[in-house]
Every structure is written in structure tokens, then in C-alpha cells.
Copies of this chain bind each other. A is one copy, B any other.
Amino acid sequence: MVEQHVIDTLRDTFELHGFSGIETRAVEPVERLLAKGETSKEIYLLRRLQDKSGSDSDLGLHFDLTVPLARYVLENSGHLMFPFRRYQIQKVWRGERPQDGRFREFLQADVDVVGQDTLAFHHEVELPLVMVDALGKLPIPRVRIKASNRKVAQGFYEAIGIEDVDETLRIMDKLDKVGPKAITEMLADGVGATGEQARLALELANISGDDAEVADRVLALGYRSDLLDEGLSELVALVEGANELIPGFLSADLRIARGLDYYTGSVYESVFEGHEDLGSVCSGGRYDSLVSDGKKTYPGVGLSIGVSRIIARVLGQGMLTPSRSVPTAVLVAVNDEGERRHAERIALKLRGRGIPTEVSPNSAKFGKQIRYADRRGIPFVWFSADDGEQVKDIRSGDQEAADPDTWMPPAEDVRVEIRGSDE
């Protein structure tokens, strides 16, 4: 119930922002899955049991929702309006070692805007705001998005004379894990960086902030290039634009290196305040070519929420709980099996007015039926007494005469409500 509530909230918010939901099949051609280049992704291949050749099909389960989006855009480009705004909430599969917050089957919620040949920068400000709006509607910890920009990293590394930008990024991604001393050695070994180049790369990684001062601090390191200028102007526009609309949720953090090897502009990571150990709960970025058909190129910007990772933490720490354990609001008691039809008619009337109702599965003694409702978490028991229809709130013991055509439980008891831990 909690997961469904989270999904419904995300879906509703994405639609409020004008994103259309799509769903794609679970499988993609293996060659398309492998084309994304992240060979570390463990793909599950499919084979039909009754295919006696024993050979694999050329299909695998998708490991993200970006590969399917790329195929979808290519296959439907003639029918889509660009920029195409889509959300997609589906299971994905990765054959990784399961651990806390990492599953082999998990749910992702993606939003992307995809353009045809061009895509305006302002979508790079828009998209993280959509995610913050969506997650902000749930009584869970505040999400904080950290952003960087490929052009800043590449522009800076090139300006200080480092040539292998992608390898530098892969090394810098390990900074939190191995520390600056090891990074300096790895940069020397990996990309031939001098001690001064390594020092500058580490200085860059220490810069963060939520206004234009970030750019000043980068420029204060004493290097410049057109690409670096372009990246800094985008990064400042992102940080300032985002904070103007929803203050305090997005900051620049030049320590981010993950994803910069395939994103081409803004890149986003995010954490839940107080749950930094969980890792990024929502990430993404800008790609100048999500896909291309040789004639046209489809640039995009998007973010993906790791729904299962969030749900695991939310449930594990009881941050969200359902107001009861079953959808049923009312159990209609059955005095004896001969009166079951009467009870079913009462239930029909209550359901017709939107009250979740079930009929007692047996006609045991009344006390037993009350205990059944209690153990299932059903708040009301309806019963037919000699003096007419009655309904009992088994939490308080209050009992009243009731008409199945008009009686309503209190508004908060009609449907299961999902509540935050402090509600």
C-alpha cells in the first residue's frame, strides 16, 4: 500500500507537469542493451524453455528505462511532438549482488524531455524541479540535488593540460572512497597527470555552493577556456534558476564525477537529508544524443528515481505507514448462513457508495467475528440485530443504528491513508 501510494504520487505529479506516461515491454534486443557502453551492468538474457536449440534469444531484460526510451523515440519519431515529455514507472532488472538498497529487480521512475536535433537548456533547470516537486509531496526526508556539468569538468581538465578526460572522471569518481593521496597517484598512473594537475583537479572537486560564487571560485584557480566558460554559465543558470523557483534544494558540487562520462551537460545526483548512506535516490543528466537515426539526433535531459531504494528505507524505518492493514473498512457480520444473502446485500450497498466492505467468511459467534475484524485491522463491524441494522467501531466500542443507504464512516476511515511517522 505504501509503495502504491508512492507510485500514485509520482505519477500524479509527473502528469501535473505535463508528462505523458508510457510503458515499454520488459525486453530489448541484447545489442541495444549493450550499446549503452556500461558493460558493468549485469544483463539477464532470455531463452525459451522449449527452444530445443539451447541457444539464447537475442533478447534481454532492460536494466534501465533510458535504453527503452531511446528505442521508443526512434520507432515513433514520426508520431511524436518534440520536445517529447514522457514519464515511465517500471521494473528493471540487473544481475548485481543484492545488498541494502540494491536489488536485482527494482522499480524506477523516470522523467525525460527529448528534443529533435535541438533541446533548449531551460529543460536542464526544469527537470530536477519536477523530481523535487514529486518527492516533496511525500512525508519523507527532504531530497537535496547536487549538480555538476560535463562542460565544466572537461573544460577545466583540458585547460590544465589533461587529455584523457573520461579516464580522469572515472578516477575522480573514486575520491570519496580512496582519498586525495591515492587519487593523485591514480591520476599520475592513469592519465599522466603531474602533481600540480592532480592538485588542481582535487581543488576543483572541493568546490560547491548554491550561487554564482561557484563560478568565481573555479575561475580563481587561474584557468579558462570557452568550454569551461560555457559550462560555468550553465551551472550558475541551473543553480540560480532552480533556487529561485524552489529555494534551497539544489546546489552545485564539482565533486560529482559519476555519469559525466556519458552525460554532456548538467548532471544530477541527490540524497535524502539524514540518509546520505543510502546513496543517490534520484540522478540523471543531459545527453546531446540520446539516440540518432543517422539523419536526426535526439538530445534529452532526464532524471530517474530509484523507487525501490527509497521504499526499502521508508518501510525499514517506518517513515510511512498505512492507517490500517487491509483495504476493508467494514466487515458485515453473518448471524447464520441463512442470512448470508442479506449481509451480501448490505455490502453491495456500502460498496456502491465507495465504502470498502467484505462479508464475514463464516457465521461464527459474534465475538469471534469481531475478533476476526480486529485481527485483520478492519475498523467497523456491521450487524443485523433484532432492532435493526447496527454498526460498531471496534476500536472505541461505540455502536449505533445505521442505514446502509446513508451511513458513512468518518472521512479518514473510508480508504486506507498513508501517513508520515509524525502524523
Given A327-B19, A341-B244, are A83 and B361 neighbors across the interface (CB < 8 Å)?
yes
Cβ–Cβ < 8 Å partners of A60 in chain B: 49
Scan A9-35; emit 1 where CB is below 8 A from any B CB, else 0: 000000111111101011100100000
Q: A375 on the interface (CB 8 Å rule)?
A: yes
Report how far A123 CA is from B133 CA in the complex, Å: 44
Cβ–Cβ < 8 Å partners of A420 in chain B: none
Looking at the assembled complex, report how far the CB atom of A329 sits from the nearest CB atom of chain B, in whole angstroms.
9
Q: A402 on the interface (CB 8 Å rule)?
A: no
Cβ–Cβ < 8 Å partners of A344 in chain B: 126, 245
Tell me if B27 and A340 are in contact (CB < 8 A): no
Cβ–Cβ < 8 Å partners of A341 in chain B: 241, 244-245
Tell me if A17 and B83 are in contact (CB < 8 A): no
Tell me if B42 and A47 are in contact (CB < 8 A): no
Say which one of A138-146, A253-261, A290-298, A351-359 lies at the interface with B: A351-359
Q: A408 on the interface (CB 8 Å rule)?
A: no
Cβ–Cβ < 8 Å partners of A122 in chain B: 337, 340
Report how far A91 CA is from B23 CA in the complex, Å: 11
Tell me if B18 and A328 are in contact (CB < 8 A): yes
CB within 8 Å of B: which A328-386 residues: 328, 337, 340-341, 344-345, 348, 351, 354-359, 361-362, 372, 375-376, 378
Cβ–Cβ < 8 Å partners of A95 in chain B: 48-51
Scan A111-153; emit 1 where CB is below 8 A from any B CB, else 0: 0000000001011001000000100000000000000000000
Tell me if B42 and A21 are in contact (CB < 8 A): no
Which of A30, A47, A83 gathers most chain B CB within 10 Å?
A47
Given A93-B26, A375-B81, are A18 and B358 neighbors across the interface (CB < 8 Å)?
yes
Cβ–Cβ < 8 Å partners of A351 in chain B: 16-17, 133
Q: A403 on the interface (CB 8 Å rule)?
A: no
Q: A44 on the interface (CB 8 Å rule)?
A: yes
Q: A203 on the interface (CB 8 Å rule)?
A: no
Q: A46 on the interface (CB 8 Å rule)?
A: yes
Each complex incorporates copies of this chain amounting to 2
Q: A188 on the interface (CB 8 Å rule)?
A: no
Q: From the candidates B1, B42, B105, B355, name the one contacting A50 in the complex (CB within 8 A).
A: B42
Q: From the candidates B4, B105, B244, B376, name the one contacting A27 in the complex (CB within 8 A).
A: B105
Classify the interface of chain A: helix, strand, loop or mixed: mixed
Report how far A245 CA is from B341 CA in the complex, Å: 8
Q: A56 on the interface (CB 8 Å rule)?
A: yes
Cβ–Cβ < 8 Å partners of A191 in chain B: none
Cβ–Cβ < 8 Å partners of A81 in chain B: 372, 375-376
Tell me if B43 and A44 are in contact (CB < 8 A): no
Report how far A260 CA is from B376 CA in the complex, Å: 33
Q: From the candidates B30, B337, B356, name the one contacting A16 in the complex (CB within 8 A).
A: B356
Looking at the assembled complex, report how far the CB atom of A87 sits from the nearest CB atom of chain B, in whole angstroms.
9
CB within 8 Å of B: which A47-92 residues: 47-51, 56, 60-61, 81, 83, 85, 91
14 contacts between A and B (CB under 8 A): A1-B20, A16-B351, A16-B355, A16-B356, A17-B351, A42-B49, A42-B50, A44-B46, A44-B48, A45-B49, A46-B61, A49-B95, A85-B358, A244-B341
- A residues touching B (Cβ–Cβ < 8 Å)? 1, 3-4, 15-21, 23, 25-27, 30, 42-51, 56, 60-61, 81, 83, 85, 91, 93, 95, 105, 120, 122-123, 126, 133, 241, 244-245, 326-328, 337, 340-341, 344-345, 348, 351, 354-359, 361-362, 372, 375-376, 378, 415
Further contacts, 20 of them, CB under 8 A, given A18-B327, A44-B48? A16-B351, A16-B354, A16-B355, A16-B356, A18-B357, A20-B327, A26-B91, A26-B93, A26-B105, A42-B49, A43-B49, A44-B49, A45-B48, A47-B47, A47-B56, A51-B95, A83-B361, A85-B326, A122-B340, A245-B341
